[in-house]
């Protein structure tokens, strides 16, 4: 049985004072969470704060991206080993904002996934189509291509520890959520794609849904057969909302 995971993606939000409050509230609320895993992915400068605030709790933490390179002359890049040094369990790779704003290509995302994996981190690997792609009927081609880029570099076995997040770009931060049926269809496609490489790995891999998840719609989404939790942006900045989403996954 796959355990559910609800991961917050704070994006470029927060400061020491606000994060301190949020981490404290999430930590306190997490005591009542049974049977699901919660995590928060915070901006790099606040990793130490997340580590201090969450150490010894059931809530994991992670980065929102990672360098595809190791240590060396890569100004501005943060390596997977550095994330591991701060106790990160997860690193998001391939988020659509990284792809569309910062130019992360499928090949770069695959290298980042592999760098994270080699450092012992669990990648939260994001895939998803744009509105135009959905309307042109190429969702499966796009998501399949994104998946295949990582499978080609890291192999299917790498998905026994990795997490996949399906995030339709048109649903991120827009208030438009994919319907549970729309999301389930793509999740089933993703699991099927992994199953062509290894059925047992496909059965075990957690596939999160992301895109305007809130407490009001989480339960129905998480009830779908192939939806194993969520990657939560805006709603993860409000402790009560984030914790309510976590409870919806139980
Ligand atoms: P959202 O973001 O929940 O604010 O739509 C999700 C994400 O980008 O991971």
Q: Which of 114, 129, 133, 167 is catalytic?
A: 167
Q: What is the pLDDT of residue 117?
A: 98
Which residues have CB under 6 Å of ligand 1?
9, 167, 172-173, 210-213, 231-235
Pairwise CA distance, residues 163 & 237, whole Å:
22
Residue pair 132/148 in contact (Cβ under 8 Å)? The answer is no
Concerning whether 167 is annotated as a catalytic residue, the answer is yes
In tens digits, the chain (250 residues) has pLDDT values of: 799 999 999 999 999 999 999 999 999 999 999 999 999 999 999 999 999 999 999 999 999 999 999 999 999 999 999 999 999 999 999 999 999 999 999 999 999 999 999 999 999 999 999 999 999 999 999 999 999 999 999 999 999 999 999 999 999 988 888 899 999 999 999 999 999 999 999 999 999 999 999 999 999 999 999 999 999 999 999 999 999 999 999 8
How far, in Å, from the CA of 168 to the mean position of ligand 1? 10
pTM: 0.98
Residue pair 45/162 in contact (Cβ under 8 Å)? The answer is no
| Ligand 1 pocket: which of 5, 42, 172 to mutate (most atoms within 8 A of CB) | 172
Q: Which of 95, 97, 114, 133 is catalytic?
A: 95
Name which of 89, 214, 230, 104 is nearest 166 in CA terms.
230
Q: CA gyration radius for the chain?
A: 17
Pairwise CA distance, residues 211 & 230, whole Å:
9
Q: What is the pLDDT of residue 177?
A: 87
- Residue 181 has what DSSP assignment? H
Q: In this structure, what CATH number is given to the domain that contains residue 196?
A: 3.20.20.70
What is the CB neighbour count within 10 angstroms for residue 187?
Answer: 23
How far, in Å, from the CA of 72 to the mean position of ligand 1? 32
Query: Would the CA dihedral through 133, 182, 189, 153 be positive or negative?
Result: positive
Number of H helices, E strands in the chain: 11, 8
Q: What is the pLDDT of residue 49?
A: 98
- Domain interval for residue 167: 4-248
Q: Which atom of ligand 1 is found nearest the CA of 231?
A: 9
Tell me how many domains the chain contains: 1
Concerning whether 187 is annotated as a catalytic residue, the answer is no
């Amino acid at each position: 049985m796959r355990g559910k995971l609800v991961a917050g993606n704070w994006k470029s939000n927060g400061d020491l004072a606000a994060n301190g409050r949020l981490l404290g509230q999430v930590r306190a609320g997490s005591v009542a969470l049974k049977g699901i895993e919660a995590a928060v992915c915070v901006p790099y400068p606040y990793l130490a704060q997340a580590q201090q605030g969450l150490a010894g709790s059931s809530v994991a933490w992670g980065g929102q991206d990672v360098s595809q390179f190791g240590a060396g002359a890569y100004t501005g890049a943060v390596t997977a080993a550095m994330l591991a040094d701060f106790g990160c369990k997860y690193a998001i790779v391939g988020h659509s904002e990284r792809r569309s704003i910062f130019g992360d290509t499928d090949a770069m995302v695959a290298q980042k996934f592999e760098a994270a994996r080699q450092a012992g981190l669990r990648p939260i690997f994001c895939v998803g189509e744009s509105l135009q792609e959905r309307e042109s009927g190429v969702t499966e081609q796009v998501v399949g291509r994104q998946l295949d880029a990582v499978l080609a570099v890291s192999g299917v076995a790498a998905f026994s520890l990795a997490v996949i997040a399906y995030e339709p770009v048109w649903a991120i931060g827009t208030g438009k959520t994919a319907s549970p049926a729309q999301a389930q269809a793509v999740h089933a496609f993703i699991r099927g794609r992994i199953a062509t490489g290894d059925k047992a790995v496909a059965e075990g891999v957690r596939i999160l849904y992301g895109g305007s998840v809130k407490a009001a719609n989480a339960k129905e989404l998480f009830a779908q057969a192939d939806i194993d939790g969520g990657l939560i942006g805006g709603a993860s900045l409000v402790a009560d909302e984030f914790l309510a989403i976590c409870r919806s996954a139980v």
